[in-house]
Amino acid sequence: MANTGTLLVISGPSGVGKSTVVARLRERIPFHFSVSATTRRPRSGERNGVDYYFVGEDEFEELVEGGRLLEWAEYSGRRYGTPRGPVITRLEAGEHVLLDIENLGAMQVKRSYPEATTIFLAPPSRDELERRLRSRGDTDEVDIQTRLEVAGWQEEMARGEFDYVVVNDELDRVVDEIVRIIRSPSH
Ligand code: 5GP
């Protein structure tokens, strides 16, 4: 497709610091940030339609059945999906679109939209990831353990399947690296 914007998909384990990186990246490059639908409950401070569309199981099922999601996946017992319409509209208008989604969804996007650039943000180490997850203080112990387990296989998979793996060691460096990737002609 000519004249379309870049579709950038950023994945990485829960707690790796994706939101911070994404926020900084958007200060450097104007992106339309795709708001996902999810069946999980809002955390404190999260707003419907801004952070996520918080929907019930039935409503999510309708989105799936109606083909209205570009991809969807289950994560930690909840479902998450990217509304298709806004992504396509923005890309066709020449805007850059950014998805912050987990691995399996990222791979679905890459299959249906091979021009997408996929970046996996990896933690410097498992211990550091555990420390970051705990310091958030909004995730219970069972959920922390699940998220750590998932993080292990996600990273293994990412090394074979993502276009780029970037270690989130230092914010400025990481944001610079991603900006370089996006601006490189061959990405
Ligand atoms: P959280 O519950 O911490 O907000 O998100 C959990 C995981 O779901 C994160 O890895 C996040 O990137 C992922 N996620 C958020 N929205 C979507 C989506 O629309 N599709 C997929 N596949 N994953 C998503």
Q: Give the pLDDT confidence of 6-42 residue by residue, as tens digits.
A: 999 999 988 888 989 999 999 999 999 999 999 999 9
Residue 1 in this model has a pLDDT that exceeds 60: no
Determine if ligand 1 sits within 6 Å of the CB of residue 120: no
pLDDT at 151 over 70: yes
- Predicted pLDDT of residue 4: 80
Whether pLDDT at 129 is above 80: yes
Domain boundaries defined on the chain: 7-183
Of the options 3.40.50.300, 3.20.20.60, 3.40.50.10860, 3.40.50.620, the CATH number for the domain spanning 7-183? 3.40.50.300
pLDDT at 118: 97
Residue 186 has pLDDT above 90, yes or no: no
* Pairing mode of beta strands 78-83, 36-38: antiparallel
102: CA distance to ligand 1 center in Å? 5
- Cα separation of 119 and 178, whole Å? 8
